[in-house]
Amino acid sequence: MAEILFYHLQGQRLEAALPLLVEKAVERGWNAIIRAGSEERLKVLDEALWSYREDAFLPHGTEAEGDAEHQPILLTTRDIRPNDAEVLFLVDRAPLPAEYPYARVVLMFDGEDPEALDAARAAWKTVRALGHPATYWQQEGGRWTKKG
C-alpha cells in the first residue's frame, strides 16, 4: 500500500519546494513522476528543476521530449508510469492516480489557494477511505513539520 504525503505550501512557491523533495527521492535511488495540472505548469517546473541550485543536478525530462521510460524524473500531465517510478508527485491540483503502484505519493498544494485546499481535503478523504496511510506536512519557519 502506498504511503501518501500531503505537503501544505505556506510562504514558499512550489518551484522552490518541489526540487528539494525530488532531490530526497533521488538520494534514495528512486525514479519519480511529477504530474502537473497543465502543460504550462510543466514548462515552469521543468525550468525550476534545471535552475533551482547551481551546484545540483536533477536528471529529468518531459513526456513530450520522448524516451519517457529512460527518464529518472519524468514530468507529465497524464496518469502514466513508464519509468517504473517509486514516487509520484502531484502538483497544481493534478488528480489522484487510478492505481497506486508507488512506494510514495506526494501531493503538494498551495495553502493560499482555496480551490487547492478543497481539492487536497477531498484527496485526503479519498486516500484514507482506500486505506492508504496518509500524513500531513506543513511548513513552519522554512522546515516541514509533520502534523498528522
Element (H, E) at 146: strand 143-146
pLDDT per residue as tens digits for the range 34-54 = 999 999 999 999 999 988 888
Average pLDDT, the chain: 94
* Position 76 confidence tier, pLDDT thresholds 50, 70, 90: very high
CA-closest candidate to residue 4, choices 113, 131, 139: 131
How much is the pLDDT for 140?
A: 80
User: Which residues pair with residue 108 across a beta bridge?
Assistant: 7
Taking each continuous run of H as one helix and of E as one strand, the counts in the chain are 3, 8
Mean pLDDT of 101-126: 96
Strands 87-90 and 104-110: parallel
Query: 58-96 burial, b for 16+ CB within 10 Å, e for fewer?
Result: bebbbbeeeebeebbbbbbbeeebbbebbbbbbbbbbeb
How much is the pLDDT for 55?
A: 86
For residue 145, the one-letter residue type is T
Q: Quick one: cell of 3?
A: 504511503
Mean pLDDT of 16-27: 94
Ordered by start, the domain boundaries in the chain are 3-146
Q: Are 139 and 10 in contact (CB under 8 A)?
A: yes
* Position 118 confidence tier, pLDDT thresholds 50, 70, 90: very high
Q: pTM for the complete prediction?
A: 0.95
How much is the pLDDT for 9?
A: 94
pLDDT over 90, % of the chain = 82
- Whether residue 91 has pLDDT greater than 80: yes
Higher-scoring residue by pLDDT: 1, 146: 146
- Class at the top of the CATH hierarchy for domain 3-146: alpha beta
